[in-house]
Amino acid sequence: MSEDIIATLKENVIQGRKSLEDEGIDEDLTGTPGVVELTQSALDNNIPLDVIVTQGLTAGMEVVGEKFATKEYFIPDMLASAEAVGAAMDILKPLLDASNVETKGKFAIATVKGDIHDIGKNIVAILLRGAGYEVQDLGIDVPTEKIVEMVREEKPDYIGLSALLTTTMVNMGEVIEALKENGLRDKVKVLIGGAAVSDEYACEIGADAYCVDGFHAVKVLDAFHQAKA
């Protein structure tokens, strides 16, 4: 029974079905329980939280990530799955907070100073939340000082910087320099992403990694997380 619920939960994450009313990626699924209902029944059946999260939600998102990478899935598919997982996490959050189940780490994300692009940043935030990270979104056009301040006060394990413009990507380097000056650079891993940047640019400014997209960001963070453990 428990295994059935978890398998169905995972399948519905892959289908991008938040609730009963959603038709899903395959047609004709309307009326069957979606991720929200299945998460609730998993709780009602006393399935452990970590099983719901890792074997249901995260396992489903991993499949979504693979399908996105092979271009079977597109952005709307991925967003539907991520939203479904987000809704499930809203149900689980209070319980997770009260239990000893740890998140994989704290991740802060910002679009750097001068740049107001937020779509890519939001997708990365949604996917990392779905992958079990505690995500804090600092928003767009975020001044360097504010990012430094945040790293000092909140001590995130990772910070993601986004820039889409060749004119604003230089501000990513500025953030890294400011972290160094404040003695915070070794306290946090810095990941960068966005249309303007590249692996080479990450090297040039001394970032820890460049991420092509949100799923890549999940992989990179998971690798850092495992290296730490």
Site residues for another protein per CB under 8 A: 71, 74-76, 79, 116-119, 123, 140-141, 164-167, 169-170, 195-196
Q: How far is the CB of 167 from another protein (least distance, A)?
A: 6
Q: Which is nearer to another protein, 11 or 118 (CB)?
A: 118
**CA–CA distance, 182 with 102 (Å, rounded to integer):** 29
Q: Order the strands of the 189-193 sheet from edge to edge.
A: 134-142, 106-112, 158-162, 189-193, 209-210
List Cβ neighbours of 147 (8 Å cut-off, separation of 6 or more): 108, 110, 112, 138, 159, 161, 175, 178
Q: Which is nearer to another protein, 106 or 146 (CB)?
A: 146
Q: Which is nearer to another protein, 48 or 120 (CB)?
A: 120
Strand residues in 104-224 grouped as ranges (E):
106-112, 134-142, 158-162, 189-193, 209-210
Q: Are 174 and 142 in contact (CB under 8 A)?
A: no
Q: If residue 143 lies in a helix (H) or strand (E), which one and from where to where?
A: none
Q: How far is the CB of 130 from another protein (least distance, A)?
A: 16
Q: How far is the CB of 134 from another protein (least distance, A)?
A: 24
Q: Which is nearer to another protein, 92 or 172 (CB)?
A: 172
Q: How far is the CB of 44 from another protein (least distance, A)?
A: 33
Q: How far is the CB of 140 from another protein (least distance, A)?
A: 5
Q: Which is nearer to another protein, 29 or 79 (CB)?
A: 79
Token pair for 178: 């400011």
**CA–CA distance, 42 with 91 (Å, rounded to integer):** 11
DSSP-assigned beta bridge partners for residue 193: 162
Token pair for 40: 């609730």
Q: Which is nearer to another protein, 85 or 188 (CB)?
A: 85
Q: How far is the CB of 146 from another protein (least distance, A)?
A: 15
Q: Which is nearer to another protein, 210 or 224 (CB)?
A: 210
Q: How far is the CB of 39 from another protein (least distance, A)?
A: 25
Q: Which of 138, 154, 175 is nearest to 105 (CA)?
A: 154
